[in-house]
Chains A and B, each alone.
Chain A
Amino acid sequence: MSITFKKVEHVYSENTPFSYHALKGVDLNIKTGSMTALIGHTGSGKSTLIQHINALLLPTSGEIQIEDVMITATNKPESLKPLRKKAGLVFQFPEYQLFEETILKDIIFGPKNFGIEESEAEIIAKKVLKLVGLDESYLEKSPFDLSGGQKRRVAIAGILAMDPDILILDEPTAGLDPQGAKEMLNLFKKINRSGKTIIIVSHDMNQVLEYCDDVIVMSNGKVERHESVDEIFKETEYLSSLSIDLPTITSFILQLNKHGFKIDSSIKDVDQLVKEIGGQL
């Protein structure tokens, strides 16, 4: 049971002068319960790829298997609604999807669309609002009175309320302050520990190193690497060829090693690094 892509191609606006080949022969297998980072340049096809997982986009050819559901070019849209619940997708800048008068109504909008009773949905709404770090006094407020960061929390709560097995986040921390970003990632890690699969598009390698298990690297519509975090940051030359920076701590260790230290470059934790340096002095 996992997410599998087989030879997936996606062409936008096929057969028009605007056609664009955005995914080229993508093969992937994302394990259930993992927290995977999706990295790559702007325009490399990350957003296109993740929209296939909840069938917002259908592949031009190839197939995608999400647990027991198969998605191909010929799927009928009605057959895919259950997938929208199974795989919750949080778009970039999700605060733009809020529309209800109150936060409560906005959060229960998703669950209600999937046939959950209003009373039950309200219980869920209270739970997820707390999860994203807002207290119950917010329930009756208008989402448009909130700050940008709070709006985003509400929007994410709206997806969490659908209780998806797979949570996909497209650059969820873009534009947040460092503290807010950290809280957000801790939340995703917590959700991941409760057994959900998480896929997160990120440009911040420090976040990737600290929070994720696996990394998928995309370039030019192709998946070029899919490895564990430890493995990927050993490929310094490959990453610099894509001008992807190493995490701060990893590049610090590499600098130390150039000057005679022998430190394992997969260390993620500052305390551990300090101990290691101390031992070698």
Chain B
Amino acid sequence: MNGMMLGRYLPMDSFIHRLDPRLKIGSLLLLLISVFFDAGFIGYGILGIFVIVLVILSKMKLSQVVKSIKPMIFMMIFLMFFNLLFIQKGTLLLSLGFLKIYDQALIQTAYIFIRLILIIIMTTILTATTKPLDLTLGIEHLLSPFKKIGFPTHEVAMMISIALRFIPTLLEETQRIMKAQASRGVEFSEGSLKEKIMSIVSLIIPLFISAFQRAEDLANAMESRNYNPEAKRTRYKQLIWKVSDTISFVCVCAVCAGIVTLSIVL
């Protein structure tokens, strides 16, 4: 958890921090969808510049952005490697025995790389600039139209907020157990396959036990305070839609519309 950036709120004050969580969640959805429109490198260039502007507006440091990507690097390399080898379209660029690399494979892999990076950074901007509680409040508001058809919006929002609340706790717990097992001679980064499996087991089992224990404690604590998910409740914190939110929303829509148009024209 020391270097962990993914999903973490950064307590600062910036233009993006002050925006309405509903706007931020909605914009993220629109932007995520537009990432998957194939608008060529021009389209990704526009999205890239937009994301850079957002990072600057949110006052995140470059090192924090890099850190948010780091945990995903392994998965990205894995994905890219297979793409590079299995797409067999276009002209052959390189052939080493059974390894054949085509130019289309190269382009597709570059697309995937750019898409993943954009997705991670966009999501990080949302979580870094929005308090977990505001995030759930925003989700609950956005889901509220579905209440009419019997969708349990409050329960879902409560579940999400509990899950978010426990991410840092579980990360801390993981670190604590890793340290306790390291004190018993476990090396999490080294050893044969058998030793690696053993070290993971020595982490996972205590982690599950304590997670279930916590879940039970929390459930008991909520019940003993008479928590009723169906009760009507008022809120201390109200979401207020500001002019800056409207302007931001127009900007996001413009960018997304631009990407979609570009992908149709191309």
List residues of chain A with CB under 8 Å of any chain B CB: 12-13, 15-17, 51, 54, 56, 77-78, 81, 84-85, 88-91, 94, 96-99, 109-110, 112-114, 144, 158-159, 162
A113 to B188, CA, bound (A): 12
B206 is an interface residue with CB less than 8 A from chain A: yes
Cross-chain contact A96 with B183 (CB below 8 angstroms): no
0/1 per residue, B1-40, Cβ < 8 Å to A?
0110000001110000000000000000000000000000
Cross-chain contact A56 with B185 (CB below 8 angstroms): no
Given contacts A78-B190, A85-B185, A162-B184, 10 further A-B contacts (CB under 8 A): A12-B2, A13-B3, A17-B11, A56-B183, A91-B183, A96-B176, A96-B180, A97-B181, A98-B206, A99-B206
Cβ-closest chain A residue relative to B204: A99
A56 to B63, CA, bound (A): 25
B205 is an interface residue with CB less than 8 A from chain A: yes
Cross-chain contact B185 with A96 (CB below 8 angstroms): no
- 10 A-B residue contacts at CB 8 Å? A17-B10, A84-B185, A89-B183, A94-B180, A96-B180, A97-B181, A109-B184, A113-B184, A113-B186, A159-B183
CB distance from A54 to the nearest CB of B (A): 6
Cβ-closest chain B residue relative to A17: B10
A81 to B191, CA, bound (A): 13
Cross-chain contact B185 with A91 (CB below 8 angstroms): no
B134 is an interface residue with CB less than 8 A from chain A: no
A16 to B12, CA, bound (A): 12
Cross-chain contact B179 with A91 (CB below 8 angstroms): yes
3 tightest Cβ-Cβ pairs between the two chains A and B: A113-B185, A110-B184, A99-B205
Of residues 179 to 224 in B, which have CB atoms within 8 Å of A's CB atoms?
Answer: 179-187, 189-190, 201-202, 205-206, 209-210
Cross-chain contact A84 with B206 (CB below 8 angstroms): no
A99: contacting residue among B3, B64, B202, CB under 8 A: B202
Cross-chain contact B185 with A51 (CB below 8 angstroms): no
Report which residue of B182, B185, B187, B209 has the largest number of chain A beta carbons within 10 angstroms of its beta carbon. Answer: B185
Cross-chain contact B184 with A159 (CB below 8 angstroms): yes
Point out the residues of chain B lying under 8 angstroms from A99, CB to CB.
201-202, 205-206
